[in-house]
Structure 1
Amino acid sequence: MPNETKTAATTTAKASKIHDPMLTLQRAVAYIVLFVLCFICLFFFYVLIVNATHNNFTIQQGFDPLPRGSFGVNFFNTTHDANVPILTGLRNSLIVSAACAALSVYFSALTAYAIYAYDFKLRKLAFTVILLIMTMPTQVSALGFLNLMDSMKLTNTLWPLILPSIAAPTVFFFMKQYMDSSLPRDIIDAARIDGSGEFHTFNTVILPILKPAMAVQAIFSFVGAWNNYFIPALIINDAKWKTVPILVAQLRSADFLKFDMGKVYMMITIAILPVMIVYLLLSKYIVRGVALGSVKG
């Protein structure tokens, strides 16, 4: 009898909470704010896609929210422009972004594992130095990096865009924090007792545990490499090795009299399409990885 009374009281309390006017108002305000934020985020994508269906004349007249019939023409003009080879740029950007994502995630996880699993004298100093590198802007070392690549005869190739991703302090820091919160040391000790080598332990035992964090950082590394303009603009002059951001800037800086806004919007649409696909396919890992990789407190 007391259990039934307690259950009835709990049910009554939940029902009263559901019909609480203040709680309903708070939820309504929260949903309105979320709707406005979602609209602001998605509206610009809608403008981009709609303008890709307009020709240059209609775009110059002002914003028209309705799609038009110039999508095919803009797509043909963009993909068949010999001066701005967008398909070649897509290929180069995909190669660079995929390679950067793979290298930065693997070697950053390997470095984080070394800091996490080994207790050596300069361990804290090594961790501090790596974090200090995060504070150094790319522009500070750009001139020296350009001179180094030029002396190594690597300019006008994709290698200078790929190899530096092996050293990614931001990815390292995230991996280290993830290991601190989600990787028991007992697993490493058990693998060593069983006779597993360090690289075998890392590749077969540690990497599967790090999969959510690696997926998140792979997304961020891919997007960062895809949107990178500064370093490719310094390194690459040959049209066959130019990436998408360089081609977009090149088309945008064309002669105003020959400037086609329809082609610009179409090129930007093509440029962001792979990034949107990556986010849609792997977005679930972002929330999962951030939640699991948070710092213990």
Structure 2
Amino acid sequence: MQENARKKKRRLVKGMIYTLLIAMAVVCFIPFFMMIINATRSNEAILAGFSLMPGAALAENYAVLKDYVNIWSGFKNSLIVSVLVTVLSGYFSAMTAYGFAYYEFKGKNVLFIFMLVMMMVPGQLGLIGFYELSKTLGILDSFIPLIIPSIASPFVVFFLRQYIQTTLHPSLIEAARIDGAGEFKIFHIVAVPIMLPAIATMSIFTFIGSWNNYLMPLVLLFSPEKYTLPVLMGFLKGSQVAENLGSLYLGIAISVVPIMIAFLFLSKYIVNSISAGSVKE
């Protein structure tokens, strides 16, 4: 009798938890849903009030948006920069983290502490110096200063180092060396597969950070055909597009699609990477 009562209580608690989680998911989804709905409505309909039904002004809103900015050019530029930043940062940060975790070299601790200190320094503080350096090197108004510096990501290195130390046992590396594998081969066939959940997690945040980066492209890019999507979206303020809320919502909706896709395909790795190493034998 008591066992049945305990089972009923557990089912009740589980049902309440699931209900709460579903309610929270709905609350989080509502802003995105309203953004998509308002992208299809006219300016007058949006000002008239809230509605769950899509409108019929999508083509008109897109025409207004396209007449003012080349949003697909900005989309392409942002995609190129964000993908390259994500790939390069993930690969070289993983290699650096592996080196800090399993190699001994002079000044290792000093370099790691310096890297931790750099995590606390806002990137905006070095913006003027970075601008002058880019100007001296002749790489202004190009994607190079937006992509290359992102290879050095202290936070990603720190996160991957902590992850790999809890998941990759040194005996695996020694076994690979005994089998005759070189150091680069060990990194690619032993370390990288184990680090994939953490790399995927960091790739999500790196991609989102690069996609939403507004200040650096605004300062370093001058040609309109090279502007990234956040810069183009910033130009919509005070323009005729801002007077058409439907067009503004449509532009925002287009800008968040890659972020939603990234979360859709990579979010499952977040739990794996966070929980890794939580249980030790």
Alpha carbons 2:61, 2:244 under 8 Å: kept: no
Give the counterpart of 1:239 among 201, 224, 228.
224
Letter of the 1:219 counterpart:
I
Give the Å deviation of 1:98. Answer: 0.5
TM-score, normalising length: structure 2? 0.92
Following TM superposition, the consecutive aligned residue runs of length 4 or more in structure 1 with deviations greater than 6 angstroms are none
User: Per-residue deviation at 1:259?
Assistant: 2.4
Q: Equivalent residue for 1:52?
A: 39
Q: Distance in 2 between matches of 1:126 and 1:242?
A: 36
Q: TM-score, normalised by structure 1?
A: 0.87
**Is residue 133 of structure 1 aligned with residue 87 of structure 2?**
no
Gaps of 5+ in 2: none
Q: Does 1:41 align with 2:28?
A: yes
Residues 264 and 296 (structure 1), Cα distance of their counterparts in 2 relative to 1, 3 Å cut: farther
Residue 75 (1) aligns with residue 62 (2): yes
Tell me how far 1:291 sits from its aligned partner.
Answer: 1.9
CA contact (8 A) 2:204 2:263 kept: yes
Question: Judging changes above 3 Å, is the alpha-carbon distance between structure 1 residues 116 and 262 closer, same or farther for their aligned structure 2 residues?
Answer: same
Task: Give, in angstroms, the shift of residue 89 of structure 1.
Answer: 0.5
Q: Secondary structure at the residue paired with 1:259?
A: coil
Aligned length: 281
User: Structure 2 vs 1, CA of residues 255 and 49 (structure 1 numbering), >3 Å: closer, same or farther?
Assistant: closer
Greater Rg, structure 1 or structure 2? 1
Q: Deviations over 1:43-89 (max 9, x none)?
A: 101110111011122223333332111122223433x32x4110000
Identical residues among aligned pairs (%):
38
CA distance in 1, matches of 2:12, 2:237: 47
3-state SS, counterpart of residue 140 of structure 2:
coil
Once the two structures are superposed, residues 131-165 of structure 1 have per-residue CA deviations (whole angstroms, 9 ceiling, x without a partner) of 11110001111111111111112111111111111
- In the alignment, residue 217 of structure 1 is paired with which amino acid? M
Partner of 1:145: 130
Pick the aligned partner of 1:66 from 49, 53, 60: 53
**One-letter amino acid of the counterpart of residue 29, structure 2:** L
List gaps (5 residues or longer) in structure 1. Answer: 1-11
CA distance in 1, matches of 2:28, 2:277: 26
Moved more, 208-217 or 237-246: 208-217
Partner of 2:274: 290
Cα distance in 1 for residues equivalent to 2:216 and 2:280: 36
Residue matched to 1:274 = 258
Match of 1:252, SS? coil
Deviation at 1:31, TM superposition (A): 3.6
